[in-house]
């Protein structure tokens, strides 16, 4: 794997694809700078070695039309604050103005180009547009894991114009290593925690990882498709009736592969989907009509503790309950604390997928995990066993 460490950037222009698709509030202020901070080591290596860092990114979905609401000019001050360096913003990403700024740039400069998606050619993977972008730099660095599953001009097509001088940035290299550690671990046991509302959204992940894990902890709404398929009463809990047979097949496959599936034993049920709902704790297969399960119960958490403690590798993808409501956050918080404790004892823990990442950040657990992935869709596709075009383009 060719990484940024294989190059010296002295007197070189590094064209770096970053993922600065960060959330903004109504005043266009950055509300979460994690993605900018994640790219910092890559950018600093370039400028500290006397190179020029040219940053390319998209922001939002402007659908190929220039739109001030999606301009990267809004994030310049935050990028400067995070990097500790001045940043020159150019209000285009190709053309004469960009080349003029580059011609006058001094070693150690950081230049941020305007939103790539103001050009429809970006998402279409247009070769001529990719070539125009490529003409701006000497070395191409892909550090945007969040878009590595897209065959866009700046993430994939561009790499062909740098046959010998393309590499992964620190962030993308770390993402690949972390997922590889889960999927190809020689350390055992390996545990996957899969939550979320639907079995259907996780089926390809489950099928791909069954050969690689020892334990599968199932939580969240997808639990009840399994429980109902096994004849349990799930009340008004969420369920995919058309996936019940699939749930039984997964259990049978897991049994054949000696993978232990851990379903909740008890659950916290509510009489409405609300933080003000009346609640009680019941066995998972005895939920009365009119009630729905929104979190796991204490017996379940007690049963999961030794599984987590004994695991050497843990993948956490999906919460155990509706953690956004305080009343139903206990299962997710407690599981997070178990994983944090295991991590401090030498277990490798990888957290990925939007809801899990949101949960570890909300409960200040992110710094206690081995790695928190920056790319939801990209990580899920890697866990499904797919080759991501943005990664393949660097490796070829």
The rounded distance, in Å, linking the Cα atoms of 345 and 191 is 16
Q: Which of 253, 305, 354, 361 is catalytic?
A: 354
The answer to whether 312 is a known catalytic residue is no
Q: Which residues contact 70 (CB under 8 A, 6 or more apart)?
A: 59, 60, 61, 62, 115, 117, 118
Known binding-site residue numbers for ATP: 202, 324, 353-356
**354 a catalytic residue:** yes
Q: Report whether 2 contacts 167 (CB < 8 A).
A: yes
* Residues that constitute the known binding site for (2R)-3-phosphoglycerate: 35, 117, 150
The active-site residue out of 35, 40, 45, 174 is: 35
Q: Where are the beta strands (DSSP E) in 18-68?
A: 52-56
Binding site members for substrate: 19-21, 35, 58-61, 117, 150
Helices 34-48 and 170-183: crossing angle, nearest 10°?
Answer: 120
Which entry of 50, 64, 108, 377 is annotated as an active-site residue? 377
Residue 14 has φ and ψ, to the nearest 5°, of -95, 120
Q: Which of 2, 198, 299, 312 is catalytic?
A: 198
Q: Name the residue with tokens 């992940």.
A: 205
User: Interhelix angle for 330-344 vs 354-362, to 10°?
Assistant: 80
| Binding-site residues from annotation | 19-21, 35, 58-61, 117, 150, 202, 324, 353-356
Q: What interhelical angle do 330-344 and 298-310 show, nearest 10? A: 20
Which residues are annotated as catalytic?
35, 198, 354, 377
């Amino acid at each position: 794997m060719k990484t940024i460490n294989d190059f010296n950037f002295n007197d070189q222009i590094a064209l770096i694809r970053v993922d600065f698709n960060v959330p903004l509030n109504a005043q266009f202020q950055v509300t979460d700078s994690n993605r900018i901070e994640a790219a910092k080591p890559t950018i600093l290596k370039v400028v500290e070695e006397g190179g020029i860092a040219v940053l390319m990114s998209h922001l939002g979905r402007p659908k190929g039309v220039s739109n001030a609401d999606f301009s990267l000019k809004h994030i310049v001050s935050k990028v400067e604050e995070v990097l500790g360096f001045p940043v020159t913003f150019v209000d285009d990403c190709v053309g004469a103005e960009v080349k003029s700024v580059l011609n006058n740039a001094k070693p150690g400069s950081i230049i941020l180009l305007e939103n790539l998606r103001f050009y429809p050619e970006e998402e279409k993977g247009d070769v001529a547009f990719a070539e125009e972008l490529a003409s701006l730099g000497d070395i191409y660095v892909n550090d945007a894991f969040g878009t590595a599953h897209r065959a866009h001009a700046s993430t994939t097509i561009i790499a062909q114009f740098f046959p010998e001088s393309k590499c992964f940035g620190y962030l993308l290299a770390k993402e690949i290593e972390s997922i590889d550690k889960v999927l190809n671990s020689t350390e055992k046991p390996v545990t996957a925690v899969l939550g979320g509302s639907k079995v259907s959204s996780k089926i390809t992940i489950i099928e791909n990882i069954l050969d690689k894990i020892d334990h599968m902890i199932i939580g969240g709404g997808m639990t009840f498709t399994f429980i109902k398929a096994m004849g349990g009463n799930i009340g008004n809990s969420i369920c995919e009736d058309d996936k019940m047979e699939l749930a039984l097949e997964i259990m049978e496959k897991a049994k054949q592969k000696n993978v232990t599936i851990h379903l909740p034993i008890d659950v916290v049920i509510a009489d409405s989907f609300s933080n003000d709902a009346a609640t009680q704790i019941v066995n998972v297969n005895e939920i009365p009509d009119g009630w729905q399960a929104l979190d796991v119960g204490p017996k379940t958490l007690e049963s999961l503790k030794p599984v987590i403690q004994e695991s050497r590798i843990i993948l956490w993808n999906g919460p155990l309950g509706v953690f956004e409501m305080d009343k139903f956050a206990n299962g997710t918080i407690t599981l997070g604390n178990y994983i944090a404790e295991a991590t401090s004892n030498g277990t490798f823990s990888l957290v990925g997928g939007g809801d899990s990442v949101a949960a570890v950040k909300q409960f200040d657990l992110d710094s206690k995990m081995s790695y928190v992935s920056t790319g939801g869709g990209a990580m899920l596709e890697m866990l499904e066993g797919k080759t991501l075009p943005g990664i393949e383009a660097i490796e070829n």
